[in-house]
Amino acid sequence: MKRIVVAGASAAGLAAAETLRREGFAGPLTLIGDEPHLPYDRPPLSKQLLTAQWEPDRLTLRSPDDLSALDLDLRLGVSATGLDRDTRTVLLSDGGHVSYDGLIVATGVRPRRLPGHGAHVLRTLDDALALRGRLGRGRRLVVVGAGFLGAEAAAVARGLGCAVVLLEPAPVPLAHAVGEAVGRVLSRAHLEHGVELRTGVTVTEATGSGVRLAGGDLVEADEVLIAVGSVPNTEWLAGSGLTVDDGLVCDAYSAAAPDVYGAGDVARWHNPLFGVRMRVEHRTNAAEQGMAAARNLLRPGARRAFAPVPYFWSDQYDMKIQAHGYLRGHDAVAVVEGDLDERRFVAAYRTGDRLAGALSVGMPPKALRPWRQAIAVGAKWHEVVGEATLAA
């Protein structure tokens, strides 16, 4: 393999590029990033950066010298706009193109938006800085979407002295992911910190002075943050012959086609550990899949399935939330340690007859370690949970 292109210069793309060099690839290596910034870490955007505890330079994943040592053809501020697999060419937004023998697609996702104008989203460094500059004591922020990103932003804004209204269409925020009982516990924390949480409401548009609800009511705000999910960046793959369905569809090895691999938020791959196709938008998975895709691209005869136990974390107020596994679509939840009402507990998740995930709130990391190990070996529910009390 003579030339490799990595499309996407965030955590997954950078991890892929570094792994390629570490594994001995010495040929031309192009790393394409649509933002002008050096690769940086995204999780702090809704936490330390938004609170102004950190400045942008602290988010940079690698120094200029570190990147220079990789001997990259680094194209920042340029996006991939098309893929011709017949000629093995990636088309670029600046009118240029780059050829490849191997390609890793790591183009990530972008925020889903709502009709209207004047609203913020929170995905990039520039997004976070723009929102940070508008928050402070006496300001009123409406957050549309009470998922983890919206909840983190709401918590930060309250800490900065903002009045916060959190709007969510579901009856219980995050119930689809963590279950109703855990969702209610997390919601209660927002109420106790003075957030006006309104569930079962649908926002139809941002107006510049707030948001309009489906019934016609206007919820006024100085600032609006839309946090209603994301869209995989796959439009540039149209006409390439690659399969796109809520992301770039990949097999268990993260391969989308011969010599084409996916990694990170954009990749929807078959995880053999859980027996399902999943797309995971979490920092740890991005780095791990970038490394796995790079190794499999370089050594097609010695490929290894990418079968991780996904991990994510969230910081809200004084709550440290951590989870291992695949919680979506679970059939039951059980509290296996601690107490829900005290917001200090471990909850286990069952899908079918197996342990599919575990989530902790307010617990040390070691509390989840045995549960992660059990998930990794495909433990049966009755073997590890037994008669624990099911959470309603």
Q: pLDDT digit string (tens) for 32-91?
A: 999 999 999 999 999 999 999 999 999 999 999 999 999 999 999 999 999 999 999 999
End position of a domain, from candidates 226, 243, 273: 226
Provide the pLDDT confidence category of residue 1 given band limits of 50, 70 and 90: confident
Asked if residue 79 and residue 28 are part of one domain, the reply reads yes
Could you report the per-residue pLDDT of 172-209, keeping only the tens digit for each? 999 989 999 999 999 999 999 999 999 999 999 999 89
Is residue 309, in this structure, part of any structural domain at all? no
Asked if residue 292 and residue 192 are part of one domain, the reply reads no
| pLDDT given for residue 389 in this prediction | 63
Is residue 311, in this structure, part of any structural domain at all? no
Asked if residue 323 and residue 266 are part of one domain, the reply reads no
127-148 average pLDDT score: 97
Asked if residue 152 and residue 245 are part of one domain, the reply reads no
Least Cα distance to 224 among 121, 301, 129 occurs for 121
Is residue 339 a contact partner of residue 330, using CB atoms and an 8 Å limit? no
Q: What is the dihedral of CA 119, 123, 127, 133, to 10 degrees?
A: 90
Asked if residue 211 and residue 129 are part of one domain, the reply reads yes
Q: Per the structure block, which two tokens stand in for 267?
A: 């990749």
- H helices of the chain, in order, are 11-22, 64-69, 125-132, 148-159, 175-178, 180-192, 283-298, 369-376, 381-384
240-265 average pLDDT score: 98
Other C-beta atoms closer than 10 Å to the C-beta of 295 total 21
Residue 327, domain CATH: 3.30.390.30
Separation between Cα atoms, residue 318 and residue 303, nearest integer Å: 42
135-146 average pLDDT score: 97
End position of a domain, from candidates 248, 278, 302: 302
Separation between Cα atoms, residue 120 and residue 62, nearest integer Å: 28
Asked if residue 196 and residue 234 are part of one domain, the reply reads no
Other C-beta atoms closer than 10 Å to the C-beta of 207 total 18
Does residue 227 or residue 215 have the better pLDDT?
Answer: 227
Asked if residue 142 and residue 75 are part of one domain, the reply reads no
- Average pLDDT, rounded, for the chain: 96
| pLDDT given for residue 388 in this prediction | 66
Domain of residue 126 covers 113-226
Please state the φ and ψ torsions of residue 293, each to the nearest 5 degrees.
Answer: -65, -40
Asked if residue 117 and residue 106 are part of one domain, the reply reads no
Residue with tokens 């220079």: 68
End position of a domain, from candidates 253, 269, 302: 302
Could you report the per-residue pLDDT of 331-358, keeping only the tens digit for each? 999 999 999 999 999 999 999 999 999 9
Asked if residue 100 and residue 83 are part of one domain, the reply reads yes
Is residue 312, in this structure, part of any structural domain at all? no
Number of domains observed in the structure of the chain: 3
Asked if residue 324 and residue 292 are part of one domain, the reply reads no
Is residue 308, in this structure, part of any structural domain at all? no
Residue 132, domain CATH: 3.50.50.60
Is residue 196, in this structure, part of any structural domain at all? yes
Is residue 172, in this structure, part of any structural domain at all? yes
Provide the pLDDT confidence category of residue 386 given band limits of 50, 70 and 90: confident
Is residue 181, in this structure, part of any structural domain at all? yes
Provide the pLDDT confidence category of residue 391 given band limits of 50, 70 and 90: low
Q: Per the structure block, which two tokens stand in for 314?
A: 């969230």
Is residue 307, in this structure, part of any structural domain at all? no
Asked if residue 177 and residue 77 are part of one domain, the reply reads no
Asked if residue 241 and residue 106 are part of one domain, the reply reads yes
pTM given for the model: 0.95
